[in-house]
Structure 1
């Protein structure tokens, strides 16, 4: 039960990131590049202070930081750049589709292939997500946006797998954010456009970085090692569904029959995948 509650809290934090990004960037109160920079900076500051407050040191110059911080940079910049041209629903489909495929492939190469039940559950869950998020009208897909989001998906998949062997979830996450900050500062040069930073947009970015990203990612690193790689990919499909439900409750979006049915499919697919043998839960 404790693992379930912690995982649910983590997915809620992930969903909150989508809501905060939508509130800030879609409203024009901040540009995507500035949002990414403030998000990482706030996460790095809060996490570093928490680590120091607990009397620990930041493991900055260790080999694992190349993978952890590098994949975080790829995710942050790719995610911000993709949403300059992609519809939110289509972007989520590409992101989580690439995350699933990347984790399944990398886990198989490392000798931990997904079980048949996990594959079926993942297919059901992703099918439900695709049904909910698929655009109802013809949408022009920008190849650059797809490429950026695919890169973000690969980055997040690698970041997730790297967390399974992180000895200290909080310190490791803090170090990843600190080491990721200098490259992310280049985001405005990569994404271009005029910088727009209002007090409201900055507040949303800081909240996303300090709480739902920084603390949320630390919490994810604390629980992800208890899942098999395949399950770590599958449970994340709950995040966009939570974001959609939050959009209905907080942003006044319409709760359609498709949303309800799709949510049932996503959660049902996850539930099917969770029913695994004890050995698969401890595979690393």
Structure 2
């Protein structure tokens, strides 16, 4: 049962992460809202949602988290929004979680985790599927947008690592979002002259913050104790595939004929990484 719970929490979190890419891209592409306003509204609504959930759990529950976690969260969210001014949903998600994977895999190896043969094959298969999806026939993304998204992925990887040792996931998420709101307010004050609010864009930002971010990160924090750093990196490779599919269906973004094969490779690779956990194989053997 604990393994099934981890699997369910991970699946819901991945859907939320893909939703963030879609909501941000839709807001910045199809509405008049600017990246600063989107980031600020996203973080504030996430903070309010998590504070409400924490309050509903009990009067004694208090926000926790840390300033380093809040700084990583803010850097991720801000770079994410500005990058999506130039990138489509699938490409942005691929760059984001590629950077996340590198960060978490390196951290896992530094902590002494080892890749067994099956897990190594799964990581290579999933990464190969992503490369197959992006490189052949796809034009290179704008350099500035790509670099911003890689920075966002690095920050998200660090935030994920901080979350593994953050104790109560809901309290840690609430505290990090509340602290990140201070950074978001400073960002809005700095770029106040360029702020542009839009009703639909604001709605997308609120959905991104309250549901895809606030609830999504709480779910991810809850799933992390059941995953190694390398497994956490690998399972997030499903997000670019989900974002590319939804971007094509909902936003009309171009979708190549190679996506089905790439999706099979990515999801199959993730299954190879996670199956030892579901079968009860000790974590040290993964």
Normalising to structure 2: TM-score of the pair? Answer: 0.87
Which of 59, 63, 66 is residue 59 of structure 1 equivalent to? 63
- Mapped contact 1:90–1:134 kept (Cα < 8 A): no
State the distance in 2 between where 1:160 and 1:124 align: 23
Query: Compared with structure 1, are the counterparts of its residues 279 and 141 closer, same or farther at alpha carbon in structure 2 (3 Å cutoff)?
Result: same
2:90–2:241 Cα contact (<8 Å) kept: no
Aligned to 1:173: 173
Q: Give me the whole-angstrom Cα distance separating, in 2, the residues matched to 1:271 and 1:140.
A: 29
In terms of mean alpha carbon deviation, does 31-40 or 88-97 score higher? 88-97
Is the CA contact 2:21–2:93 (under 8 Å) kept in the aligned structure 1?
A: no
Q: Distance in 1 between matches of 2:167 and 2:219?
A: 13
Unaligned ranges ≥5, structure 2:
none
Deviation at 1:85, TM superposition (A): 3.8
1:38-65 Cα shifts (integer Å, max 9, x gaps): 00000001111221222233334xxx51
- SS of 1:26 mapped into structure 2: helix
Q: CA separation in 2, counterparts of 1:100 and 1:106?
A: 10
Partners of 2:23 and 2:123 lie apart in 1 by: 27
Could you tell me which residue of structure 2 aligns to residue 102 of structure 1? 103
> How far apart are the structure 1 equivalents of 2:87 and 2:254?
21
Q: Which residue of 2 aligns with 1:222?
A: 222
Quick one: distance in 2 between partners of 1:177 and 1:282? 35
1:230-257 CA distance string (max 9 Å, x none): 0001101111212222234434556643
Matched, 1:31 2:14: no
Deviation at 1:124, TM superposition (A): 1.5
CA distance in 1 between counterparts of 2:7 and 2:99 reads 24
Q: What is the number of residues matched between the two proteins? A: 279
With over 3 angstroms needed to count, the CA separation of the structure-2 counterparts of 1:243 and 1:141, relative to structure 1, is closer
Instruction: Check conservation: 1:40, 1:181, Cα contact below 8 A.
Output: yes
Task: State the Cα distance separating 1:88 from its structure 2 match.
Answer: 4.3
Match of residue 16 from structure 2: 13
- The residue correspondences of 1:138-149 to structure 2 (distance < 5 A) are 138-139=139-140, 141-142=142-143, 144-149=144-149
**TM-score normalised by the chain length of structure 1:** 0.88
> Hey, what does 1:235 align to over in structure 2?
235
| Shift in Å, 1:25 | 0.8
Q: Which residue of 2 aligns with 1:196?
A: 196
User: By how many angstroms is 1:123 displaced?
Assistant: 2.1
